[in-house]
Amino acid sequence: MVDIVVLIICNSLFTLLNMRNLLITVALLAIVAVAQPASDRVTSLPVYGQLKSANYAGYVNLTEGRRAFYWFVESQRSPSSDPLVLWLNGGPGCSSLLGFSEENGPYTMRHGGNFEDNAFAYSTIANVLYLESPPGVGFSLDTVPAIVWNDTNTAQMSYLFLRNWFKRFPKYRNHKLYLAGESYAGHYVPQLAYQIFTGSDSRIRANMQGFMVGNPCTGNIGCGNNDPTLNTFLQYQGFAALNASVPTDPNANYDPYDLLVPTCPSASLLSRIRFPHPIVDALRKRLRDAPYPYGPCADNFVTAWFNREDVKQAIHADLDVTWTECSNTLNYTINFDGVTDLYKIFMEQTKWHLLIYSGLSDSVVNMAQTQTIVNGLNRPLKVNQFTAWNYPYVYNATVPQLGGFYLLFDRIAWAGVRDAGHMVPQFNPPAAHELFRSFLDIGRPGRM
C-alpha cells in the first residue's frame, strides 16, 4: 500500500515537473517571439538624436541569399490596435526610404540636411512598414549576378518578405493590413495585393483591407505609353499654348513632378522616372549632370545621410552598400499593359477598399490620366456628384480647407489633391494625412 502511495506521489511530482517545464518552455518561446526583433531596434539617429517612438530597421531573409531591407515605425497612437500599412515607392527602382525620409515618415529631411518632426506622419495613426523592393534597391541585397526583375517576381518576393516579417513581428499578424504607395507602386501594390489574394497565407488574406495608390501608373495610357491627356492637361495648367502649333520654350525651368513648387532639378531626381515622358526627357537632356540652379536638393542631403557609416550602423544596414534614392543598375522589365485587370478581380471578388488619388499639379502621371483610367473601369457611381473633401486647417483645426474633389464609385474611389504634385505627402502633408486617415477610417475620402 505504501509503495502504491509513493508511486502515486512520484507520478504526480513528475507530472507537475513536466507541466512546469512545459510552461517555462512556452513562456520562453513567447518571450523570444516578442523580443526577437529587439536586435533591429533603432533608438537614435545621427543628426536627429533620440527617437520618440519605437522604430525597427534591418534585413529579412528571402531566397538564394537575397535580403530585403525594411524600416518599421510603430504607431504613436495605439500600436496594439492600429492597422499595419505597408508603404512602397515606385520607379521602378526607387527606395521606399524616400517615403520615410521626405514624405510621410515621423521625421523628414528638408533643405539644409536637418530632420524635422513630421506632425503629419502616417505613423501618428498607423503602424507603418517601409520596404525597399525589389532586392537590389536601396539597402536591399540581390544575388550576384542580379536577376531581371518584373512586376510578377517583385510581387512574389514582397509577399515572401511580408510572410517572413510577420514571423519576426508576430504580434502584428492579426492587425488589419493595408497597402499604400505611389508612382510605379501603382503596379507594385496591386500586384502584391494579388499575391495576397491568391497566396497560401490565409491569415494575411483575411486581414487585408485594401489599398490606396497616389499618382499611380495603372493603365495602358501614360507611364511609357502614349498619354492622350497630357497635352490638354499642360494647356489648361498654363504650361502649353492652347494653339498646339506654338511650341513651348524648351528652356523653361519647372518641376514636372509638381508644377507649382520651386524647382530643384537634378539628374538624381529625374532618375525616379524610368519610362519615357516628353517633359522629363527634355529636362533630362538639358540638365544631364549640370550644377543645380538653386543649390542641392533635399534628395542629395538624404543620399549623403544614408551613406554615412554611423547611420548605416544605427539602422543595421550593410556597411558595404552605397545607398541611392533610385537605382540606375536595376534590370527591370516595365509592364506597359497596366494592372486594370487586377482591379476588376478585386472589385468583383473581394470587399477591399480601393482608392486612386492624384496630386493635381503632377505632370508625370497627371490627374486626367488617372481619372480617365478609373472611369474606364466602368463602375457605377455610388454618389452622382464630384464631391468636395476637406482637411483641417493647420493654423486652426476647426476651420476646414478644401483638399480636393472625389468620385465615389460602387467599388472604388478617385480623389484629386489640391496644391500637391507627384509625391502628395511631400508636397501637401496635411492634406495627404487627412486623405490617409479618411481611407483608414471609412474606406474613402470625405471623413470630415
Q: Name which of 162, 208, 200, 214 is nearest 351 in CA terms.
A: 208
Q: In what order do the strands lie in the sheet with 84-88?
A: 41-45, 49-61, 67-73, 127-131, 84-88, 177-182, 208-214, 353-359, 413-417, 396-408, 387-393
Active-site residue, 362 included: yes
Catalytic residue among 187, 277, 422, 433: 422
Beta strands in 168-322 (DSSP E): 177-182, 208-214
Asked if 88 and 132 touch (Cβ cutoff 8 Å), the reply is no
Q: In sequence order, what are the residues at sequence separation of 6 or more whose Cβ sits closer than 8 angstroms to the Cβ of residue 169? A: 37, 56, 72
Helix (H) or strand (E) segment spanning residue 86: strand 84-88
* CA terminus-to-terminus distance, the chain: 79
**Helix/strand/coil for 324:** coil
Active-site residue, 281 included: no
Chain centre to alpha carbon of residue 443: 17
Angle at 261 between CA 255 and CA 267, to 5 degrees: 30
The 10 Å Cβ neighbour count of residue 8 is: 10
Q: Is 184 left (phi over 0), alpha (psi -120 to 50) or beta?
A: alpha
| Side chain identity, residue 257 | Y
Helix (H) or strand (E) segment spanning residue 269: helix 267-270
DSSP class of 309: H
| Side chain identity, residue 50 | Q
The answer to whether the peptide bond before residue 392 is cis (omega within 30 degrees of 0) is no
Active-site residue, 81 included: no
Catalytic residue among 142, 255, 258, 362: 362
Catalytic residue among 183, 358, 363, 438: 183
Catalytic sites, residue numbers: 183, 362, 422
